[in-house]
Amino acid sequence: MTAEVGAPPQSTCDTPNFTNDQPYDVAVIGGGVVGLSTLRTATLCGLRCILLEAKADLLDGASGRNSGIACTGVDAPVGSLERALIRDSISSLRGHLVRYNVPHRCCGSMVCLWPWDGEDVSYVGVHDSRLEAVAKESWDAGDSHCKIYSKADVLDLEPHISKEVRGGVHIPGEIVLDPFLLPLTYAVHARENGAHIVNNFVVDGSKSYFDDQEGIWSITSSSSSDVGCRRIFSKSVVNATGIMADWLERDIRKASSAFSEKTSSSWESFESRPRRGQYCIFSSPNQCLSIPVPVRPIQPVPSQRTKGVFVYSTIYNQIVVGPTALDQEDRNDDRIDHEVGQTLKNLAKRVIPICNPETDLIDEWVGLRPATNYRDYQIHLYPEKRFITAAGIRSTGLTASLGIGRYVIRLLSSIVHLPPDGKQHLSSICEENCSALPNIINLMEQYQNSGDDGTICVNGYEYKVTHPITRNGWRCSKHFEHTC
């Protein structure tokens, strides 16, 4: 079964139920990859669901500015929720990508050691302690196929990267994918199974509250759009607003004493801290589109704070360098820093000498990752208020999204009644009514014909293509082939 493409759009959003006669089972606030995965999972478990997105388009925040690489998560802290959900997600991600026609490349990644890494490397070979430490993380996590490579072996696999490389570690489980189309499948499947998605719904936390007697949430929109100032009623709420998650809870907590003192103190233990990631994207120096340069993402030895700046080919064979990792206070400032951009260009040239960053630059962008003051996901259940927060989902959110959706709904099942078959679906999600995306060539042609709108239409719903990797790939590619 394949979704329909190109039919006249019904709308960009659904017409929801604004009465409290039949409240929704779940209201998900936030239309990023976490919110959409949660919506899909809850809907496939038989719950009546709605998603509320403040912006005009889905995936227009951090989820529209990520790297488009699914990682194995071994660099996440041992014992962390982040690592557990990445490992859960990656186990089923490849099957999802194949089944639902999401372009991807199962190539693994190469962690490379360079002379500019900041330490003197007196021995050039496979036995550098830093490479051994990287490999050991994967081995300890059960990834036995991870392997340390000598300089000669790395250059044999990636002949276009700089000959200054000193050695590397191949992590075979990582995947390059289309970062827009994966979460788009979540939206398409949720709608196919009865969920509603409403855009331009800016939740007014100060006017939204939980009725203890009725056990119902009343969620008010403060937007002045066509949705207007309306009210949604739901038995439970999932706060998936990313970088704004702590602010939304602060406002809701103040409204009508929505949270008890115990709940409030537990929430106050974390705060959102934006982490700025800047990228540059270049046209490929290789004219043969079936052979990307480089084939595998080239990444540095990670630190405790960041995985570092990657140099890699997108699924559309354009070269990306990024992201940087700079903490900032402003939650909206995503302006390009031209000095940082020049540093990224220099790195691209240094790692891939045949790349000409000055002439091949296509685009630049900045993503603000929703980090917190903790180095782990902050997913909390407040059962007495039927409220779940899914916050602190850092740069690994795309990879972990399937696992996050399952985890949130397991929490939700303790406070909202699931249908009998829905409980069974928690362990094996029923996907018989989920269609594959239309052929990628058809989507690209539709996008190219949409002009400045930059939209595609799937199953009668219009979606704006929000991710720079997808936009630039579809804009520049005349022909496209992908293999796994």
326-358 per-position pLDDT tens digit: 999 999 999 999 999 999 999 999 999 999 998
- What per-residue confidence (pLDDT) applies to 426? 57
Domain boundary among 345, 372, 399: 372
pLDDT digits (tens, 9 = 90+) for 425-474: 555 567 888 999 999 999 999 999 998 899 999 999 999 999 999 999 99
CATH number of the structural domain spanning residue 349: 3.30.9.10
Residue 47, helix vs strand vs coil:
coil
Task: Quote the CA–CA distance of 368 and 471 in Å, as a whole number.
Answer: 19
Domain count, the chain: 2
For residue 13, is it within any domain? no
CATH number of the structural domain spanning residue 254: 3.50.50.60
pLDDT digits (tens, 9 = 90+) for 116-147: 876 544 444 455 788 999 999 999 888 899 99
For residues 257 and 379, membership in a common domain is answered with: yes
Backbone φ and ψ for 362, nearest 5 degrees, come out as -105, -45
For residue 4, is it within any domain? no
For residues 380 and 470, membership in a common domain is answered with: yes
pLDDT digits (tens, 9 = 90+) for 256-282: 565 655 554 455 568 999 999 999 999
- What per-residue confidence (pLDDT) applies to 81? 96
Does the pLDDT of residue 2 top 90, yes or no? no
For residues 465 and 390, membership in a common domain is answered with: yes
Domain boundary among 347, 372, 397: 372
For residue 136, is it within any domain? yes
Is the Cβ–Cβ distance between 325 and 277 less than 8 Å?
A: yes
For residues 188 and 297, membership in a common domain is answered with: no
For residue 417, is it within any domain? yes
pLDDT digits (tens, 9 = 90+) for 241-252: 999 999 998 888
For residues 279 and 257, membership in a common domain is answered with: no
For residues 189 and 62, membership in a common domain is answered with: yes
Is the Cβ–Cβ distance between 203 and 238 less than 8 Å?
A: no
For residues 381 and 469, membership in a common domain is answered with: yes
For residue 447, is it within any domain? yes
For residues 439 and 320, membership in a common domain is answered with: no
Which contacts qualify for 125-134: CB closer than 8 Å, 24 or more apart? 125/150, 125/151, 125/167, 126/150, 126/167, 128/166, 128/167, 130/301, 131/167, 131/168, 131/169, 131/301, 134/169, 134/301, 134/302
Domain range for 160 is 106-174+273-372
- What per-residue confidence (pLDDT) applies to 481? 52
Q: Return mean pLDDT, the chain.
A: 88
Domain boundary among 310, 343, 372: 372
Going by their DSSP bridges, the two strands 26-29 and 237-239 should be labelled as: parallel
For residues 453 and 368, membership in a common domain is answered with: no
For residues 121 and 51, membership in a common domain is answered with: no
For residues 165 and 204, membership in a common domain is answered with: no
For residue 284, is it within any domain? yes
For residue 124, is it within any domain? yes
For residues 300 and 266, membership in a common domain is answered with: no
Does the pLDDT of residue 289 top 60, yes or no? no
For residue 193, is it within any domain? yes
